[in-house]
Structure 1
Amino acid sequence: MSKTLHNGLEILELLAQYPHGLSLSEISDALGLHRTVAHRLVRTLEAHRLCRRDDHKRISLGTGLVTLAESVEQDLRTLARPVLEELADAVEATAHLVVRESADTVRAMMVIEPRHSDVHIAFRPGQVHPLDRGSAGLAILASMPPRPEERPEVQRARTRGYAVSTGEVVSTTIGISAAVPYRPGGTQAAVGVSVFDASDEERVGAAVLAAAGRLAELLG
């Protein structure tokens, strides 16, 4: 593994957690890098527009990342948006599309808030979580063959078609998700909602399951 590339990517991942930026010293201290090394890496990232400095010399993510991200699962994001919007409005809760990113992690690719609700949960897309924590990851695991020592929640999700988790990603929040039927060569993904109250779990679960099926149809 390239240590230099690894350190540069660590800087980008760190900056993603601080939308208002960090100073060079803060980056250096957070990652345990010599200030000279951090400076050289930041200058390289700046040259590729992956990060930028403001008038106060604080460093934040750059617009070049937008260009790189535009082509990532473009079809999936384009087709998922209207499905998530319809789901969010139907259950009056924040809807999300989560994709499997690695062997043991998932990432929130898209988050859609309802247009009409008294109160709802808000969080940013891009968050990464363990595959076996949270309803989306559990739903994806349930779409796969059974594995030894898998969680009971995965087994229940495999039976009813959707997974439920409480407080595993955001405290006091209940997640209800269903896996998007897998396409050969495609990304493993799940559609879900985040709610405060699961007293209407069956209705919400049915809506989530229907949304996942609709997205699968659109993806062909």
Structure 2
Amino acid sequence: MTTKPGDTSQTLGRGLDVLELVAASTEGLTPAQISTELGLSRTIVYRLVGTLVEHRLVRRNAEGLLTAGLGTVSLSQNIAPTLRNGSREVLEQLAEELGATAHLAIADGEEALAISVVEPRTTTFHLAYRPGSRTPLGVGALGRALLAAREGRAEVFESEGELIAGAKGVVASIPGSVGLACCVGVVTLAAADTSTWAPRIEAAARELGEILLG
């Protein structure tokens, strides 16, 4: 049987739809859920999932739920430099205006991963925050903002002393980052008055959303 170009394009499109849906899920999906969500027959979904599993783009856990596989890592290996370069100017402005260390982070599995960090240049004292740092997802303002981003919610979170004693974080989820959960925020000394910072950080999140996510 000869495959027509149109059939190939349709199959590829459906496969990408399945991959995007699975990647956006935090708990994993069953083939039946994918079938319902995308309006495809289960036979087609099983065939597409089988191919994606074979290429390690999707994995099937012990409960039969489908989640993003390790093969997606190689597809996104250049994402960190892209995010770092795209966010630099916004983070520099945020750090200088608030006098606090600004950062961009993404959800990497069950951890929050700091992609880009900019320290203020004009402060006498500030907290340092190393790029590549990892913290548990869901813990502190940073972790909660990333969970909100996964759900497509634009929200600002504040926490004190949850990740680092004597430190306070104010972080906003980046709208539209469901497939790639991102957030932007600042970390500062606990004594700092951050009561007016939320609108500024929300503005930075909107700006970064336009730059990074189109």
TM interval, shorter chain, is: 0.5 to 0.7
**1:174: which partner in 2?**
168
Q: Residue 137 of structure 1: which of 135, 138, 143 is its match?
A: 143
Is 1:75 the equivalent of 2:82?
A: yes
Q: Residue 124 of structure 2: which of 87, 108, 118 is its match?
A: 118
**1:128: which partner in 2?**
134
**1:162: which partner in 2?**
156
**1:98: which partner in 2?**
105
Q: CA RMSD in A?
A: 2.4
Moved over 6 A (4+): none
Q: CA deviation at 1:144?
A: 4.7
How many equivalent residue pairs? 138
Q: Which amino acid aligns with 2:121?
A: R
Could you say what secondary structure the match of 1:170 adopts?
Answer: coil
Could you say what secondary structure the match of 2:206 adopts?
Answer: helix
8 Å contact kept, 2:114–2:133: yes
Q: Residue 206 of structure 1: which of 196, 199, 203 is its match?
A: 199
Could you say what secondary structure the match of 1:206 adopts?
Answer: helix
**2:183: which partner in 1?**
190
TM-score by length of 1: 0.57
**2:26: which partner in 1?**
none
CA deviation vs aligned residue, 1:12-68 (integer Å, no higher than 9, x gap): xxxxxxxxxxxxxxxxxxxxxxxxxxxxxxxxxxxxxxxxxxxxxxxxxxxxxxxxx
CA distance in 2, matches of 1:208, 1:184: 19
CA deviation vs aligned residue, 1:189-215 (integer Å, no higher than 9, x gap): 110101114663332111111111110
Change (3 A) 1:99 1:193: same
CA distance in 1, matches of 2:196, 2:121: 19
**2:91: which partner in 1?**
84
CA distance in 2, matches of 1:142, 1:78: 24
